Structure 1
Amino acid sequence: MSEVPASARYKELIATATSAAERMREHEREKSARLAQEVAAASVRIEEAAEVRDEVVDEVEKRWKHAMQALWDERWMRVTPMPAPERRVAPGRAEDLIASVQSAYLMLRRSLEKSRWSPSLRRGKNPE
């Protein structure tokens, strides 16, 4: 058996360590680039979610304002400021949530449009 000189063994170890360090740096560069893309994509999703949230809030505030205007003649009803958002509501698509608020608003309008008491109805007269 021939013995490998220490200097040759040292050079092999240094070459192996250098190669491993370069592979590690390349892996870290790739990982960094991947993470940068994920962060950029997440930022876009956050921005889009904020826009959708603002759209839903605007639609709800608009329906609330219209509901308050519809209830203006209902003096007996105690009108309050718009309540805070209900955090326990299941998440959903913005379109579905807006449609739900619109549906509730339309139900309110229909209930307000139903016949109201009038003097001619009081004595059992039919207002035909």
Structure 2
Amino acid sequence: MTDPIGAAERYKEITGWIGDAVQEMREQDAERGVVLTTRLEDAMESTNEMLTRADESMSRIDDWWQRAVGELFHERWMQVTPLPRPDTSVPPRPLEFYEAEVERAYGALIDAIRRRGILPRR
């Protein structure tokens, strides 16, 4: 039984299919590349926003610490240490929660100092 299509024509047909498949794969890869590039850009933007927010939070925390140190500056009996390192054993919560906790602790410190008569009452 002989093939009605010659070998050369059959070869051209097969290489045409392969060429079409390769072109389709390239188009799909290009589409995937656009999607992945967009996702990567979004992830990088989110990461930069998160890092900026973390820097702002650390600045706020440092400000509260410096205020507390300033309030205790004249108390020679008290040894004031540098800002402690973050406690990594606490449960993860939004930064706002921890910032509020630091502010609350500062307020409690000031109240305690005033009750003890270390600072003048305002």
TM range (shorter): 0.7 to 0.9
Q: Deviations over 1:28-76 (max 9, x none)?
A: 1011111110111011111101110111111111000011112223322
- Matched residue, 1:69: 70
CA apart distance, 1:2: 5.2
In the alignment, residue 92 of structure 2 is paired with which amino acid? P
The match for 1:126 is none
> How far did residue 83 of structure 1 move?
2.0
Can you give the 5+ residue segments of structure 1 that lack an aligned partner in the other structure?
118-128
In structure 1, the residue matched to 2:47 is: 46
Could you say which residue in structure 2 is the equivalent of 1:88? 89
TM-score, reference length from structure 1? 0.82
SS at match of 1:78: coil
Separation (CA, whole Å) in 1 of partners of 2:68 and 2:117: 18
- Sequence identity percentage: 31
2:110 aligned partner: 109
Q: Give the superposition deviation at 1:94.
A: 2.0
User: In angstroms, what is the RMSD of aligned CA positions?
Assistant: 1.8
Q: Which residue does 1:8 correspond to in 2?
A: 9
What per-residue deviation string (whole Å, max 9, x for no partner) do you get for residues 89-124 of structure 1? 33322211211111111111111111449xxxxxxx
Indicate the SS of the match to 2:53. helix
* Residue identity in the other structure for 2:87: E
Question: What corresponds to 2:58 in structure 1?
Answer: 57
Aligned residue type for 1:82: L
Q: How far apart are the structure 2 equivalents of 1:36 and 1:108?
A: 50
Output the CA distance in 2 between the equivalents of 1:52 and 1:92: 14
Partner of 1:121: none
Corresponding pairs, count: 117
Which protein has the larger Cα radius of gyration, Structure 1 or Structure 2?
Answer: 1
